[in-house]
Amino acid sequence: MVRYADRPTVELSVDIAASTAVVWDLVTDINMPARFSDEFRGADWIDDAAPHHGARFIGRNRHRTAGEWQTTCTVTWFEPHRSFGYSVNDVDDPAARWRFDLAPNAQGTKLTMWAQMGPGRSGLTSLIKRYPDREEEIVANRLTEWHTNMEATLAGIKAVAEAG
């Protein structure tokens, strides 16, 4: 049984025929995933216009059953050309964590996208509280949605990077 408290994760990778510098510019563009995700609608930097450790942005989302919402995200992983990621809402007790990892390979760059639920409160925790007997189903469905959007995002980044 997968429970929210277990902090379940999704991780997907793709090989991209482009340099890590090219891929880095794409993954640090906080609006790039909005081009490919059916949930993430875009984001705006709060503090300034450049990504760096500690920078914050407001992300906008829309879900067919949950409606629209915004989150405040903080960049918590920032190693140029290697790792870019952020925590959603509370940095110390995030609703989720998202990260892109880049590694040079024979094709150019291996790009890995990783996400973790919880441990902090989110819209999902409210739903689980309402339907505790369906927690495993709720978490599994959400992980499937994440997987689908992450696949689309990676495929989109690959296409943009390889198109030059």
Map tokens 């995200």 to a residue: 73
What confidence tens digit (pLDDT) does each residue in 116-156 have?
999 999 988 989 999 999 999 999 999 999 999 999 999 99
- Per the structure, the complete domain to which residue 46 belongs is given by 4-163
pLDDT surpasses 80 at 48: no
Tokens in use for 79? Answer: 């190693």
Burial of 39 (0-12, 13-18, 19+ CB in 10 A): middle
CATH number assigned to the domain comprising residue 152 = 3.30.530.20
Phi, psi of 15 (to 5 degrees): -90, 135
Q: Model confidence over 66-122: pLDDT tens digits?
A: 889 999 999 999 999 999 999 999 999 999 999 999 999 999 999 999 999 999 999
- pTM listed for this prediction: 0.94
Overall number of domains in the chain: 1
47 has pLDDT over 80: no
Give the model's pLDDT for residue 65.
85
